[in-house]
């Protein structure tokens, strides 16, 4: 039965009201905490367990994709480094230093002609930078020879097997009247790498022209 507060003094009534107020505050706080707990259960931070599982799977998939991309990038880097090394090796072996280009090509062609027993007549050359490069150039040698058909075949074989990269760009041959000797004109391409010694090239070119014109 509810207590009868009649007849109680003002102090007792005030104490009762304070106690009731505190109980209501505590009950309100407990209710709020329960609501928060229910909310956390129904809507946990970061999503539900299924949401978190899907997010974890997506992250694992992204990690696998990044690993595959990283491995592919490493392979590409290795391939680039290998290609760069092979390119440098090719340049060192087949592109003649500008400093010794003329003397080297003169020796190579003279040696090939001597072995093939074909006669050198005259020779001239032009050099142009390869498009897109300011350190690599191509020298085109215009040369005339005399010899038999066999001599010509041997000369072509010697040029083909030369230690230098020599490419016969074009060739024409005409028989001399009343003999089996051919007059041969050909253009031969060689490749040069610049080593900062351009003045030496001018000197070498003059020497080659003088030697060829004798």
Poorest-pLDDT segment among 22-36, 73-87, 104-118: 73-87
DSSP tag of 190: E
Q: 119-129 and 136-147: which strand pairing?
A: antiparallel
Tell me which of 175 and 80 has the higher pLDDT.
175
| Mean pLDDT, residues 30-39 taken together | 74
Sequence-ordered list of residues with C-beta below 8 angstroms from that of 157, at least 6 positions apart, any chain:
116
- Contact between 5 and 17 under an 8 Å Cβ cutoff? The reply is no
Sequence-ordered list of residues with C-beta below 8 angstroms from that of 174, at least 6 positions apart, any chain:
182, 183
Tokens of 31: 């209710």
Q: 96-97 and 182-193: which strand pairing?
A: parallel
Poorest-pLDDT segment among 21-25, 86-90, 97-101: 86-90
Q: Which CATH architecture has domain 96-213?
A: 2-Layer Sandwich (3.30)
| Residue extents of the structural domains in the chain | 65-94, 96-213
Q: What is the pLDDT of residues 37-67, one digit of tens each?
A: 766 666 666 556 676 677 778 888 888 888 8
- Which residue, among 108, 90, 97, has the nearest Cα to 160 in the 3D structure? 108
Q: 167-175 and 96-97: which strand pairing?
A: unpaired
Q: How confident is residue 12, by pLDDT bands cut at 50, 70 and 90? A: low
């Amino acid at each position: 039965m509810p207590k009868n507060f009649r007849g109680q003094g003002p102090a007792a009534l005030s104490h009762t009201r304070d106690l009731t107020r505190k109980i209501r505050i505590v009950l309100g706080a407990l209710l709020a905490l329960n609501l928060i707990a229910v909310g956390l259960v129904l809507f946990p931070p970061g999503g539900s367990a299924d949401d978190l599982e899907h997010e974890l799977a997506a992250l694992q998939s992204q990690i696998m994709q990044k690993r595959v991309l990283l491995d592919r990038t490493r392979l590409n880097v290795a391939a680039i480094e290998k290609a760069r090394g092979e390119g440098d090796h090719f340049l060192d072996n087949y592109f003649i230093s500008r400093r010794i280009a003329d003397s080297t090509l003169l020796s190579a062609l003279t040696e090939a002609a001597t072995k093939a027993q074909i006669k050198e007549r005259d020779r001239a050359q032009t050099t142009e930078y390869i498009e897109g490069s300011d350190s690599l150039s191509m020298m085109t040698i215009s040369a005339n020879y005399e010899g038999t058909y066999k001599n010509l075949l041997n000369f072509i074989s010697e040029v083909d097997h030369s230690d230098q990269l020599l490419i016969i760009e074009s060739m024409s041959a005409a028989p001399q009247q009343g003999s089996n000797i051919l007059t041969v004109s050909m253009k031969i391409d060689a490749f040069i790498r610049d080593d900062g010694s351009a003045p030496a090239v001018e000197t070498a070119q003059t020497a080659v022209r003088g030697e060829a014109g004798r």
